[in-house]
Chains A and B, each alone.
Chain A
Amino acid sequence: AQRVTQPEKLLSVFKGAPVELKCNYSYSGSPELFWYVQYSRQRLQLLLRHISRESIKGFTADLNKGETSFHLKKPFAQEEDSAMYYCALLSGSSNTGKLIFGQGTTLQVKP
């Protein structure tokens, strides 16, 4: 079965501390994975996708096929990073198809 698991509902850290939001997936095939973020009173927006291998707002995520993980990391959290983060798996090919979402993790960065 295709599944995305985000084990933490809430992650609370102090400003300047490192952050790791966990994501594990189950997929038979070559996965395409995304991180989406939803700031307070804003729409869901794409943060990054694994095929781009880019860093957005200081966040990175590496696909580990052996551990079936796609954890989101940032070395020094900022207060403006406080938001809800969703890991998502594309079920389909050629850039189309539904996204399967994890339950989401609320990141709270305290001053």
Chain B
Amino acid sequence: KAGVTQTPRYLIKTRGQQVTLSCSPISGHRSVSWYQQTPGQGLQFLFEYFSETQRNKGNFPGRFSGRQFSNSRSEMNVSTLELGDSALYLCASSLGEIENQPQHFGDGTRLSIL
């Protein structure tokens, strides 16, 4: 069974631009979560979607947003990019109906801001 797929794998943007990252969960998984990984702050939770609804959100500014489609695929968008947004963005999926189920991660999108 195919794993979690994130596209693109690498992105280079400049300050002030916006970016959209994509995540395709494992077939049958309805929950998608997003995380930011940086050397300084580690792994931080961005938000989680289940059946197209955002169920939980981390402490990130409003520039970070996401959505989920009816096929469970998810996108996250970052507007007005800042140098500090350079990070590895990880997506994870799970079945989602019951809490605390194991989450399966993609290999991430590495975003570099120049």
A, B from the same assembly: no
A-side residues, CB < 8 A to B, are none
B-side residues, CB < 8 A to A, are none
